[in-house]
Structure 1
Amino acid sequence: MATEVTERRFAETYLQLIGLSSKADESKYHTPSTYDKLSSLGPSLPAIKAELPRQKSGQEDNVQKKIDMSIKSIKPPHKFSVNLSQVDGSQTVYHLKTTLINEATDLSTKDIKAGDLKLLLKGKVIQDTATLSSLTDESSVSLMCMVSQKPAPSASETNSTGEADPSDQIPVEVKSLSADTWSRIHKVLVEDLRSEPAANEALKKLKKSWD
């Protein structure tokens, strides 16, 4: 009942308001089809004099970014340390490997290919397709490098080169790394990662991959 009274009062009040309003000329009102007849859209805001920041694409950042690279070997028999200055951030890790081979004499003189190298950042292997700018937000980065051992040549390959039969050669036993070697590797990891726990974790992964 209360609702009916309220609706009735609302209707009566609405009708009174309509009666008080005078009918305006339709020419004073505009619809979307007559917006072109408006003489003014109201007061205009002052122009902004400050230059708005321009958003750069990821590709532009890669091209402009330069990175200083420090790469060290961590696994014998190869031993090298290469520093590369102002490397384009748009380059891929694979391209960096080819540059590293040309710069490190220990690699270029031993027929090492890019596929034989593994670059690590904080103990994790970096994919060849990754761009250098994606590795760090800083202007420099330190990487570690592992060189895969080449498989021993098969009997047919050895005989085809005119060398002695493998059965006549003294077999070479591949020994595990000594504790002293692992200690030196751990020292390099601590210097690069600047964190004892991170170095311990990286060393653990390296030992696992070596075994």
Structure 2
Amino acid sequence: MSTPSAEIEVIDPEKQFVKTYVELMELSKNAPFDQFYSTHDYNKLSSLGPSLPKFKYNFPTTSTDQSFTDETPKIAKFKSIKPPFKFSTELKVSPNESIYKIKSNLIESIETLKSSNIKPRDLKLMVKSKVAQDSATLSTLIGDNQEISFNCVISNIPSTTTTKEPEPVIPTSNDDPEVEQPFALSSTAWSKIYEIILKDINDPAKAKALVHKFQQDI
């Protein structure tokens, strides 16, 4: 006669968790505060009550994706073809650096920009005719590439860098009314003025002196 085999009950961990959780909730339901032990009376506890089952879940681990932490320096090339700041250079930059920071480093590396007091706001970096915003990071522009090329446009050039044109030389006036003066009046006009004055005073010397005085006052 065969002995009946004992059946082993398989307990679902998730169902056990819910059942135990409900038991814990029922332990102190509507119980008055004076029935609970204080922290100084924990030694009087005879039992810690039911325990929740331990679940063996795989929690997320730290990502090893290098795309988020890649600090490998990249090569940034810069070129400006417009005078008075014509240059071509390159810098090693971090993918996480902002365009504003890259502008600042570029200015510090080029003496002509630094000595001319060029600020990052005066410098535009363009990638294929598109202006790179100051708040953007290099990684958003370079992608997986190892280098990137910028065209540089410098605006608001300080007046100290411009060439001042020489002032025109103004010739001095001449006492002779017949000689063309450096004013708007022509020699013909001065001759007519001289003739009019001469008719009124009938004195060539005084008429000439008056014309000369008019020339000085204009």
Q: TM-score range by the shorter chain?
A: 0.3 to 0.5
TM-score, normalization by structure 1 = 0.45
Larger radius of gyration: 2
Q: Which has the higher contact order (CA 8 A, sep 6+)?
A: 1
Q: Greater share of helix residues, 1 or 2?
A: 1
TM-score, normalization by structure 2 = 0.44
